[in-house]
Copies of this chain bind each other. A is one copy, B any other.
Amino acid sequence: MRPSGRAPDEMRAITIETGYTKHAEGSCLISFGETKVLCTASVEERIPPWLRGKGEGWVTGEYSMLPRATHTRGQREAAKGKQSGRTQEIQRLIGRSLRAVVDHRKLGERQITLDCDVIQADGGTRTASISGAWVALRLAVNALMKSGDIVEDPITAKVAAVSCGIYKGTPVLDLDYPEDSNADADANFVLIEGGKIAEAQATAEGAPYDEEAFLRLLRLAQMGCADIFRAQDEATRK
């Protein structure tokens, strides 16, 4: 029995509120239940030094938690003077995930930074970040296409992410905090619309798992991402 009463393959409610901030070229507030992440896409007409002159663009991600997004207040990384290993790991994952669905030549020599700031955390902040970042990216690219700055759509597909895990022996979809902090295994899947995998990470927290368990988690992720793809579609069509 899940603490929330959800069925093992049941996602939390997904809501995506686009245009959440007025300055960003694309933005949304994405919620997976009580997890809320503000995702913004910022377009800059400059690229990292190593890409100059190649006619290609770049997509990168940044991630942070507001200090009181969590049950107990966490110290600001800006005050500590450095980003934690966890933050850096998540930032790298967000960037890789979004780059997996972008044709960098069609993007042109510009950089899009996807900032994911967690307003409220209840498990699954990194996967909500990736799913929301795609929406912000889609909106920013739409604007660039409308203005004629980009001619051909550089986004090749939707990308979404969801966490799964083995909780009290049962594979479950979309872990919330009470599950996440007690799971035997914890997996994050980044899936591309159409069935392919961009990234799979499954970690044994308590007991190691076997191949079959892994495949069941992947099935759950595929179900969850189907829901997220629908929500992304609705949000960006509006």
Q: Is A120 an interface residue (CB 8 A)?
A: yes
What residues on B are CB-neighbors of A78 within 8 Å? 64, 76-78, 80, 82-83, 87
Q: Which of B117, B203, B214 contacts A66 (CB 8 A)?
A: B117
Chain A contacts with B in 43-75, Cβ cutoff 8 A: 44, 62, 64, 66-73
A198 to chain B: closest CB distance in Å? 5
Residue in chain B with minimal CB distance to A67: B115
Chain A contacts with B in 196-219, Cβ cutoff 8 A: 196-204, 208-211, 214-215, 218
Cβ–Cβ contact B209 & A71, under 8 A: no
Q: Which of A9-17, A20-28, A144-152, A224-232 contacts B (4 or more CB under 8 A)?
A: A20-28
What residues on B are CB-neighbors of A121 within 8 Å? 23
What residues on B are CB-neighbors of A40 within 8 Å? 66-68
Residue-wise interface mask of A (109-120) relative to B, using a CB-CB cutoff of 8 A (1 in contact, 0 not): 000010101011
Main secondary structure of the interface of A (DSSP, over half): mixed
Q: Is A34 an interface residue (CB 8 A)?
A: yes
Given A85-B88, A120-B23, A196-B210: A204 and B79 interface contact (C-beta under 8 Å) = no
What residues on B are CB-neighbors of A169 within 8 Å? none
Residue in chain B with minimal CB distance to A21: B120
What residues on B are CB-neighbors of A21 within 8 Å? 66, 68-69, 119-120
CA separation between A211 and B217, bound complex, in Å? Answer: 12
Cβ–Cβ contact A204 & B100, under 8 A: yes
Q: Is A131 an interface residue (CB 8 A)?
A: no
Cβ–Cβ contact A211 & B201, under 8 A: no
What residues on B are CB-neighbors of A202 within 8 Å? 197, 199-201
Enumerate the 3 nearest inter-chain pairs by beta-carbon distance, A residue then B residue, closest first: A85-B88, A196-B208, A77-B78
Q: Which residues of A contact B (CB under 8 A)?
A: 21-24, 27, 34, 38, 40, 42, 44, 62, 64, 66-73, 76-89, 91-92, 96, 100, 113, 115, 117, 119-121, 192, 195-204, 208-211, 214-215, 218
Given contacts A23-B70, A197-B211, 8 further A-B contacts (CB under 8 A): A40-B66, A67-B117, A73-B113, A78-B87, A197-B204, A197-B210, A198-B208, A199-B201
